[in-house]
Amino acid sequence: MPKISEKGQRMPESPIRKLVPFAEDAKTRGIKVFHLNIGQPDIKTPQVALDAVKNNDIEVLSYARSEGSESYRNKLAQYYKKNQIDISAKDIIVTTGGSEALLFTIGSITDFGDEIIIPEPFYANYNGFAAANGIEVVPIVSSIETGFALPEIEEFEKLIGAKTKAILICNPGNPTGYLYSKKEIEKLKALVLKHDLFLIADEVYREFVYDNMQHHSIMTDKGIDQNAIMIDSVSKRYSMCGARIGCIVSRNKEFIQTSLKYAQARLSSPTYALLASEAALDTPQKYFDEVIIEYVERRNTLITELNKIDNLKVSKPKGAFYCIAELPVEDADDFAQWMLEKFSDNNETIMVAPASGFYSTKGSGKNQIRIAYVLNKESLIRSVELLKLALEQYKN
């Protein structure tokens, strides 16, 4: 039989989706499963975006420009200006989701065997994008004790070697909910300048910042023009995960020209989704204000309820819509599967994402899960009640 590539075999399974068959099986047994495992918000997509797809006179569904239309990129630049990010259309390449933005970015800046340093736990698919590009993720541990704050810069420095090409952060963080402060971003800037590295910031959760805190983008000041690359997406901002539109932003011309070649090779992003994404930029501020209020209430409800469980540790997220909880179990993978296979209360159970897949250090996060608070408050309260009951019944 022809042989599958080493690269392909190294591609990790998604920790968010690998329990899906067990959840499907539970559902066929008539059990309701509360999905806390995936960051698919239940918030309505802005009407302006939906209307743009419904009300148009397109007769030929043609390719779009590889880098995205001039009008969309100009409007994106205006949106960024409102967010204190002074860039222009030429600094943007529109992609098919933040996922493709990450793939193009890693492809453009690394060669086989190169390394990218990432604070862990991190968005699990970074492992997949690294494997697809034949590069190594070098993890640097952040801890639940500090709420997943930026590790000490000296620790980063110890990991920098000849193969290091970049530091990648997610701000606000999936799966940690941590929001890096201006001071932390400044420390990273100084570090990448000193070692001539790229700094990639995945800012797809920029709008989801709570408690009157400010998001500080790596693109805000121009001291690291040649090093800074920002990843963005419409998926979470406008609850448009299915549109599959994102972008890469950088003032580094050579990097943008290289990424454009990747964009040209895949021709273009989907035309209808581009229409919706451009229209979504006209979403009124009121939409975001209401969404933030909803997420703050959900977060507060979730954290209050989780704190009622004995021997459970959780740090309060400052942004995004996830948190990591440390459970009094040895193997959260086994526990998560057990909740789907063997546990139910009144025909209900929950699905969570075991956190081990968000680490690349073997054995890390074994007793942790990631919870996405993308369900309404009543469902969250019931979900935590189910978690508590399950913990009481589960035998390590």
Under the rule (CB under 6 A), what is the footprint of ligand PLP?
39, 97-99, 123, 170, 174, 202, 204, 233, 235, 241, 246
Of all residues in the shown chain, the one whose CB is closest to ligand PLP is 97
DSSP 17: T
* In the complex, least distance from residue 245 CB atom to ligand PLP, rounded to whole angstroms: 7
Which residues does 42 contact at the CB level (< 8 Å), separation at least 6? 374, 375, 376
Nearest residue to 293 via CA among 215, 381, 377, 216? 377
In this structure, what are the phi and psi dihedrals at residue 199, rounded to the nearest 5 degrees?
-115, 115
Q: Is cis: bond before 172, omega within 30 of 0?
A: yes
* In the complex, least distance from residue 39 CB atom to ligand PLP, rounded to whole angstroms: 5
Taking the least distance from each CB to ligand PLP, the nearer of 173 and 391 is 173
* In the complex, least distance from residue 37 CB atom to ligand PLP, rounded to whole angstroms: 12
Taking the least distance from each CB to ligand PLP, the nearer of 133 and 233 is 233
* In the complex, least distance from residue 172 CB atom to ligand PLP, rounded to whole angstroms: 9
Helix (H) / strand (E) element for 131: namely: helix 125-132
* In the complex, least distance from residue 40 CB atom to ligand PLP, rounded to whole angstroms: 9
Taking the least distance from each CB to ligand PLP, the nearer of 124 and 256 is 124
Taking the least distance from each CB to ligand PLP, the nearer of 95 and 349 is 95
* In the complex, least distance from residue 121 CB atom to ligand PLP, rounded to whole angstroms: 11
Which residues does 254 contact at the CB level (< 8 Å), separation at least 6? none
Which residues does 2 contact at the CB level (< 8 Å), separation at least 6? none
Taking the least distance from each CB to ligand PLP, the nearer of 322 and 343 is 322
- Count CB atoms within 10 A of the CB of residue 393: 11
Q: Say if residues 280 and 49 touch (Cβ distance below 8 Å).
A: yes
Taking the least distance from each CB to ligand PLP, the nearer of 277 and 356 is 277
Taking the least distance from each CB to ligand PLP, the nearer of 142 and 235 is 235
Bridge partners of 319?
Answer: 209
* In the complex, least distance from residue 238 CB atom to ligand PLP, rounded to whole angstroms: 11
- Count CB atoms within 10 A of the CB of residue 40: 14
3-state SS class at 136? strand
3-state SS class at 205? coil
